[in-house]
Amino acid sequence: MSNCLKPKLESELREAPVLALAHVGDAVFELMVRTWLYTSGTTTAKKLHNNAVEIVSAKAQAVAAESLLPHFDEDEHLIFKRGRNTHVNSVPRGSSVSEYHAATGLETLFGYLYLSGKTDRLEALFMIIMEDK
């Protein structure tokens, strides 16, 4: 396994910049969405793109975060809150500040779980999000 894919120590990740974790989590979430769409039978590039854009929007991620809150353990909740409460410089059109903060919290948690090697937990949370889709 290459160095970039080795799980990081939790102590190291707890000190990592929140927006760095969210940056990784954003990519992880989008890749999981794209994979889920393809394996669920969405085959045309246009449908894959349109469906992915809808699911990875800040508004949709905020709804997903809300649905996951009861499923978080104590550490996951703290990491989510750390991401949600971080200062961001801009908010994309089409989402409110609170939606964007919730989306950043979700991305932070996904980045943390991925980088710490907790992929089983990452997948379990992702499937909770996708069960209604």
Active site residue 75: no
Q: Measured between alpha carbons, how far is residue 39 from residues 5, 29, 43, 60 in Å?
A: 24, 15, 9, 20
92 in Cβ contact with 58 (< 8 Å) = yes
The residue from 26, 73, 75, 120 that is catalytic is 26
Among left, alpha and beta (phi > 0; psi -120 to 50; other), residue 88 is beta
Crossing angle, helix 119-130 and helix 97-115, to 10 degrees? Answer: 140
Among all residues, which ones are annotated catalytic? Answer: 26
